[in-house]
Chain A
């Protein structure tokens, strides 16, 4: 059955940064240059083709953009400057918006003003809320102890509630991703396979081993550092927040990890920001507005986090509390808006795509294998 092409798709994806896709004339150099591209997922050419032709459903169920780590090799090889790497990046943005059922993600990607306004609004709301809570439940001069302005028990509870909501949103999106790419696909993957290969998920998540297959190792190292720092910080905050807000003595088991994570976050975000400003590497050449917002927020959160910690340790309780407020005014919008609706979501989608694609690949191979004797029999 023929698919109805949607000529508007290219225009739509232009908002996500895929404008150069129209230049592609399908020589296939990109797919040949890509170190990750292998059977049965030969990319990026085919994804580019789906986009050019306006095959929206095909593109929506396409996992290939997530298999790409944007080393930039393809864009460097492209004879027509169609920027396949950036097109794949844009398709990831678009897919993020497709997986999100609320439509907020689409709004953010299409309008940086909307995203910025939302960030400011959430930040103000957070600031006001926390100020009110602190003013009614504690004393701004105290960072720790029973009179703490923002008691760790309160923040902890808030974090868990927020985490729960975000997790629910993210899981819904993941479920939609599964539906688009696996659920309605003609490739049938039995449940046992899902279980048998479930170990792939944490492996890909924690090691990003595929990224290492890229010829350039530095991007992988930076990315891994950023990701591990982020996860470390998440675990510390979700489970050991009290240890951070006690003191002023340093709790080395917790803080040492926290320092490492902070160094990782600041280092990686400064590196990325500097790269994007200087356009030093292929994958930094094109920056969508959301890339800037994401990096600036990250750096802001990391810096305010470590400064409030320092102020607290040096006994400046009042200042520490104000910084804490400022910190939360960054953290909350970053998590609320970035995790389910924007760039941060890829920390879930990418390992999932790796996992799904392995399942699909195995299923395709198995199908070909079982078809092969039949073909041979026919030929005979």
Chain B
């Protein structure tokens, strides 16, 4: 092996490292290691003078490898890689030793901390010897997008993409577009008609030649990788089935939510009392313009109960977010249809965030909705009213704001059923390779900074499949996802990380053990060669296959066996 010329830079980080680690001693010890031509300790390595010092050494001392012993690589690895690149060195010729987060900040014995820092630095020096130059890779981007789900999010995303003249496949399971919004009468808080919101957009979808709408269809399979997916879509029910193969570059999952099954909560008697209905049953009444009890008479007392299945330890701990304002919407609609009726609203907390919502809450109070606050864990109980009452049912509520237990009259009870992830969301998740949280919602790439992307490149999520969401937020997320995709399309090609696994076909025995293990289905078996190979654009570099290969034929770039062995030697 040719002789390496390694530079070692020990950062003091002001006093953050230096007060617990003798940085000079660490540098002196590193200087003794084979291949090290310079070892320096400096106050702030990440500062401009610090980086310039490294670059100067690279040029003057002809360094070919660099070790920075400083903070966590999660903090400044990219910074120092940039410094290397600036001095004309391959950025992957860098290794960092984490002597701040995992050393100076967590230890109290300076001697032990210094010896640990020296060991970590030694390990980095030994490892960096085996670092290989890696190059960024690019693949072509297919401009077509598959939108799964034709609800308000899917429709919006499709229109946004098609509006930029990009082809879209819009796949909907039902025989019509609109999703859950199509089941709704008015919307909160401005009481606009959901039908008006949808009808115009659906018409635009139908008119747009860039959008291919596939109704009564389901995506069967998605293979490939970012920019180069292939989707198999099945159309039609038993009997006449057609299959479409679509070449696409991106996927937006907009599969939405399903309403919570109210019958699961015993105390409300849903399914038992004919006049206990769910919010979706009530929407149907509102859309038909006839609010009536099972006897066909208009109710004199309407009670709306919040948080059915939501914010409960037994069912779903989360808030479904839209039900509070929907409940207030019902209060408005009931009061305007039945001015003589008394409307009760039974809530745990009124979540009136969002534009116009607090004002909507206030107006709901002004139209004499009677609000009662029940306690989480002490759900209201519904029972049949006796003949001496002028109502169908009585609801027993323990009101938190007065401390009183009261019976309220009710002829019609509306249960605000929460949102839950669809029963078959797991199937979708596996198909497009995205994760679900414990409640079944799809997980975004970053909860704050990247709420539309997923951990799978090229697969985006929008709408209530990610978490309970109202129309406004679903539309915003759908447009954001579309914008992200249009950005990728505009660039024409996609950068793929240099870190990935590769199979040495000479050593591969074709046992196919790795094929099954790969969570990204990134390893393909070539039937003619009887060898496996990694589709590098799909590979996320986890290294699962590398550790399992019985022939040692797979190499994890930048995490090779050789590099890690050297590191193990170094720390001990």
- Are A and B in direct contact (Cβ within 8 Å)? yes
Binds B, one of A47-55, A210-218, A351-359: A47-55
Contacts of A22 in B (CB 8 A): 365-366, 368-369
Contacts of A80 in B (CB 8 A): 362, 365
Contacts of B369 in A (CB 8 A): 22
Q: Mark B30-68, 1 if CB is under 8 A from A, else 0.
A: 000000000000000000000000000000000000000
Q: When the two chains form their complex, are residues B404 and A53 in contact, meaning their CB atoms are under 8 A apart?
A: yes
- Judge if B371 is at the interface, Cβ distance under 8 Å: yes
- Judge if A5 is at the interface, Cβ distance under 8 Å: yes
Q: When the two chains form their complex, are residues B362 and A23 in contact, meaning their CB atoms are under 8 A apart?
A: yes
Q: Mark A13-46, 1 if CB is under 8 A from B, else 0.
A: 0000000001111100000000000000000001
CA distance A244 to B453 in the complex (A): 94
In the complex with contacts A2-B396, A7-B301, A10-B368, A55-B402 CB distance below 8 A: yes
CA distance A22 to B344 in the complex (A): 12
Q: Mark A59-70, 1 if CB is under 8 A from B, else 0.
A: 000000000000
Contacts of B399 in A (CB 8 A): 49, 53
Q: When the two chains form their complex, are residues A7 and B406 in contact, meaning their CB atoms are under 8 A apart?
A: no
Q: When the two chains form their complex, are residues A26 and B406 in contact, meaning their CB atoms are under 8 A apart?
A: no
Q: Mark B400-416, 1 if CB is under 8 A from A, else 0.
A: 01101111110000000
Contacts of B406 in A (CB 8 A): 2-5, 53, 55
- Judge if B372 is at the interface, Cβ distance under 8 Å: yes
- Judge if B431 is at the interface, Cβ distance under 8 Å: no
- Judge if B370 is at the interface, Cβ distance under 8 Å: yes
- Shortest C-beta distance, A42 to chain B (Å), equals 12
Q: Which residue of B lies closest to A58 (CB)?
A: B404
CA distance A128 to B464 in the complex (A): 80
Contacts of A50 in B (CB 8 A): 402
Contacts of B402 in A (CB 8 A): 46, 49-50, 53, 55
- Shortest C-beta distance, B103 to chain A (Å), equals 49
- Shortest C-beta distance, B303 to chain A (Å), equals 10
Q: Mark B362-395, 1 if CB is under 8 A from A, else 0.
A: 1001101111110000000000000000000010
- Shortest C-beta distance, B495 to chain A (Å), equals 53
CA distance A52 to B343 in the complex (A): 12
Q: When the two chains form their complex, are residues B372 and A53 in contact, meaning their CB atoms are under 8 A apart?
A: yes
Q: Mark B190-230, 1 if CB is under 8 A from A, else 0.
A: 00000000000000000000000000000000000000000
Q: Which residue of B lies closest to A23 (CB)?
A: B365
CA distance A8 to B373 in the complex (A): 19
In the complex with contacts A2-B407, A3-B407, A5-B408, A26-B370 CB distance below 8 A: no
- Judge if B525 is at the interface, Cβ distance under 8 Å: no
Q: When the two chains form their complex, are residues A3 and B371 in contact, meaning their CB atoms are under 8 A apart?
A: no
CA distance A142 to B350 in the complex (A): 74
- Shortest C-beta distance, B344 to chain A (Å), equals 8
Contacts of B373 in A (CB 8 A): 26
- Shortest C-beta distance, B458 to chain A (Å), equals 47
- Judge if B342 is at the interface, Cβ distance under 8 Å: yes
Q: When the two chains form their complex, are residues A23 and B404 in contact, meaning their CB atoms are under 8 A apart?
A: no
Contacts of B370 in A (CB 8 A): 5, 7, 10, 52-54
Q: When the two chains form their complex, are residues B407 and A4 in contact, meaning their CB atoms are under 8 A apart?
A: yes
Q: Which residue of B lies closest to A11 (CB)?
A: B368
Q: When the two chains form their complex, are residues B366 and A23 in contact, meaning their CB atoms are under 8 A apart?
A: yes
Contacts of A25 in B (CB 8 A): 350, 361, 365, 371
CA distance A55 to B401 in the complex (A): 13
- Shortest C-beta distance, A50 to chain B (Å), equals 6
Q: Mark B550-562, 1 if CB is under 8 A from A, else 0.
A: 0000000000000
- Shortest C-beta distance, B450 to chain A (Å), equals 37
CA distance A54 to B361 in the complex (A): 20
CA distance A159 to B48 in the complex (A): 101
CA distance A102 to B373 in the complex (A): 37
* Chain A contacts to B: CB under 8 angstroms: 1-5, 7-8, 10-11, 22-26, 46, 49-50, 52-55, 58, 80
Give me 5 other A-B pairs in contact (C-beta within 8 A), A4-B407, A52-B370 excluded.
A7-B342, A25-B371, A26-B401, A50-B402, A53-B402
Q: Can you list 18 A-B pairs, Cβ within 8 angstroms, ordered by A? A: A1-B405, A3-B405, A4-B407, A5-B407, A5-B409, A11-B368, A22-B366, A22-B368, A24-B365, A46-B402, A49-B399, A49-B401, A49-B402, A53-B372, A53-B404, A55-B404, A55-B406, A80-B362
